């Protein structure tokens, strides 16, 4: 039987169970913590808090989270190993790069035709994460991530997108793209990935659920991709009631097989600095791992989405995404 790599090693796909397809454990810059974090970052307390939160969502019936925290968001696999050892939840981790505009200097001078004329180093690095493991930990990435936030991708962002696509072609690993709902950058993702020969059924258009434009969403889904209805609780981008209405409309039109669910939540995000604990519950009270189980699924059922359609979105689509090989 096919399996998927998690922080604790391979897990049979059939045992993934209910899966949240886009959650972070921490979004945390190492440089930020090392230089300005002494007031607000307590490693032991935050790790314990994360374990408690992950165990709590597991008790609610979620078996797996898919964590696209790559370079740019603070990937730290040794810390994830500590956490994964103390929760039954499966955690699937990623390779890739999260930037909106500027390529990191660490890749700017290395690559085909550059100062150091070598094969694309991002493909080398991402592929190693998938085939050998990340940073000597033995933990393997099971999917790839990049970001398309601006209406027109910068040359650096486009280079990252194509490096991710080529890594997919080499390794078969599926892809999640951070896209902008307002700028409808899912279209750009589909164009670039198609040009590179990516199997579009292995692509999640992340944050598609920030949009309620059914023409945009069905146009994407009709090309084979999965729509990431994955920011429940981030009401400032799109309130829960609107997200529920959009999913219901899509499910009614036969698109349950093209949607996955999540919150894009985390246990701590250093973008809020020391104000995190004060600001977050006040401004984003539902932005946590249990909002879908507690509130969204009952609302979907109430709106007419069937339990079978929920199982498709939460269990079957994630399994298909991580199943090696072509379209099922
Ligand atoms: Zn995210």
Query: 268 C-alpha vs ligand 1 centroid, how far in Å?
Result: 12
The answer, yes or no, to whether residue 320 has pLDDT greater than 60, is yes
The answer, yes or no, to whether residue 268 has pLDDT greater than 60, is yes
Query: 146 C-alpha vs ligand 1 centroid, how far in Å?
Result: 10
Q: pLDDT tens digit string along 290-313?
A: 999 999 999 999 999 999 999 999
Q: Quick one: pLDDT band at residue 326, thresholds 50, 70, 90?
A: low
Query: 114 C-alpha vs ligand 1 centroid, how far in Å?
Result: 31
Q: pLDDT tens digit string along 197-243?
A: 999 999 999 999 999 999 999 999 999 999 999 999 999 999 999 99
Q: Please state the separation of Cα 92 from the chain's center in Å.
A: 10
88 neighbors 55 (Cβ within 8 angstroms)? yes
Q: Quick one: pLDDT band at residue 327, thresholds 50, 70, 90?
A: very low
Structure confidence at residue 325 (pLDDT): 83
181 neighbors 208 (Cβ within 8 angstroms)? yes
The answer, yes or no, to whether residue 98 has pLDDT greater than 80, is yes
How wide is the angle at C-alpha 66 spanned by C-alphas 99 and 149, nearest 5°? Answer: 25
Query: 107 C-alpha vs ligand 1 centroid, how far in Å?
Result: 22
Structure confidence at residue 38 (pLDDT): 95
Name residues whose C-beta falls within 8 Å of residue 276's C-beta, 6 or more positions apart in sequence: 40, 268, 269, 270
pTM: 0.97
What average pLDDT score do residues 4-21 get? 98
């Amino acid at each position: 039987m096919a399996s998927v790599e998690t922080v604790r090693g391979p897990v049979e796909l059939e045992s993934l169970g209910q899966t949240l397809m886009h959650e972070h454990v921490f979004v945390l810059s190492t440089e930020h913590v090392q230089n300005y974090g002494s007031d607000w970052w307590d490693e032991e307390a935050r790790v314990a808090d994360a374990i408690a939160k992950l165990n709590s969502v597991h008790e609610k019936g979620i078996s797996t989270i898919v964590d696209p925290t790559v370079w740019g968001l603070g990937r730290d696999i040794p810390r994830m190993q500590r956490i994964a050892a103390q929760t039954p939840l499966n955690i699937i981790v990623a390779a890739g790069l999260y930037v909106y505009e500027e390529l990191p200097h660490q890749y700017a001078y290395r690559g085909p035709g550059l100062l150091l004329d070598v094969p694309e180093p991002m493909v080398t690095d991402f592929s190693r994460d998938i085939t050998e493991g990340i940073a000597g930990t033995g933990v393997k990435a099971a999917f790839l991530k990049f970001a398309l936030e601006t209406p027109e991708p910068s040359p650096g962002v486009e280079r990252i997108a194509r490096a991710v696509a080529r890594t997919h072609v080499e390794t078969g690993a599926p892809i999640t793209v951070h896209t902008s709902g307002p700028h409808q950058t899912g279209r750009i993702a589909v164009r670039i990935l198609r040009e590179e020969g990516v199997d579009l059924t292995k692509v999640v258009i992340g944050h598609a659920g920030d949009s309620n434009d059914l023409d945009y969403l069905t146009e994407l889904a009709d090309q084979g991709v999965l729509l990431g209805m994955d920011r429940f609780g981030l009401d400032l981008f799109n309130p829960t009631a609107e997200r529920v209405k959009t999913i219901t409309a899509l499910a009614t039109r036969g698109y349950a097989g093209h949607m996955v669910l999540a919150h894009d939540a985390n246990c701590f995000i250093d973008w809020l600095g020391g104000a995190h604990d004060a600001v977050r519950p006040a401004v984003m009270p539902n932005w946590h791992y249990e909002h879908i189980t507690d509130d969204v699924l009952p609302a979907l059922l109430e709106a007419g989405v069937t339990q079978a359609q929920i199982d498709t979105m939460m269990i079957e689509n994630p399994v298909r995404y991580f199943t090696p090989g072509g379209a099922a």
